[in-house]
Amino acid sequence: MGITGVLSNYPIVKENETLYAINRLASLASTGIFAILPMVVCYSAVKRYGGNSVLGMVVGAIMLDSSLANAYSAASGTVHVKVIHLFGLPIEMVGFQGGILVALMIGFVVAKLDIYFNKVVPNSVKLLLAPLFTVFLSTLLSFTVVGPVGRILSHGLTSRLVWSAENLGFVGYALFAGVQQLLVITGLHHIIGAAEAQLLADTKHNFINPLMSVALIG
């Protein structure tokens, strides 16, 4: 990102095809991962929680399936969102682009389901049925429980952080920086990474990292 950010400031980069190509490739290398970030997070979370990380990648891919309405487009109202009904329960067919917290939550679910089914399914059919049950139930829970709850938490977390920055000013910044190292001691600081990713996904800005840097320097 630093390379493409610097190169983009020079007119010669646009005029010279080789420099333009380098800049374009640098841009692709820096931003490509964000298109599938929830899948990567889900993969990593399942691995961390002791499940089959490949199943995490599978469920993460389902979260971003091309047949689903893009989450950003759905939020802006530029795409029609199809709704299906499961026993009368409406389920919106919307992807989870930018859904970092959702990916973390569903990663936990995938891991626990994988561990459970590998214990209870007979060895003779485990290779087939254990991952089948895990993936299907994880998909079901993603769109009925985990996804909706995760979206509420994600937007709530982001809106509260943005509110504190906009309304509390230096007091809000000082409070956050002041307790940040205490959060590290308790282990609760791991959620900050998710909050940063969610901020970037929702607002394209991250004011948390500078505050953490100030806390560390202090």
Give the tens place of pLDDT for each residue, 36-49. Answer: 888 999 999 999 99
Residue 213 one-letter amino acid:
S
pLDDT for the residue numbered 185:
64
Alpha helices (H) along 142-168: 147-167
The residue assigned the tokens 């009904």 is 85
CB atoms within 10 A of CB 101: 28
Distance in angstroms (rounded) separating the CA atoms of residues 116 and 110: 10
pLDDT per residue as tens digits for the range 142-162: 999 998 998 888 777 667 766
- Residues with pLDDT less than 50, the chain: none
Q: Quick one: CA dihedral 103, 109, 115, 117, positive or negative?
A: negative
Distance in angstroms (rounded) separating the CA atoms of residues 172 and 8: 35
pLDDT for the residue numbered 191:
65
pLDDT for the residue numbered 162:
66
Rounded-to-10 torsion of CA 187, 191, 196, 198: 170
Distance in angstroms (rounded) separating the CA atoms of residues 191 and 202: 16
- Which tokens hold the place of 24? 């374009």
Report which of 160, 164, 158 is spatially closest to residue 177, judged by C-alpha positions: 164
Beta strands in the chain (DSSP E): 83-86, 89-92
The pTM assigned to this predicted structure is 0.73
pLDDT for the residue numbered 82:
93
Report which of 94, 79, 98 is spatially closest to residue 36, judged by C-alpha positions: 98
CB atoms within 10 A of CB 75: 16
pLDDT for the residue numbered 68:
93
- Which tokens hold the place of 60? 């993460």
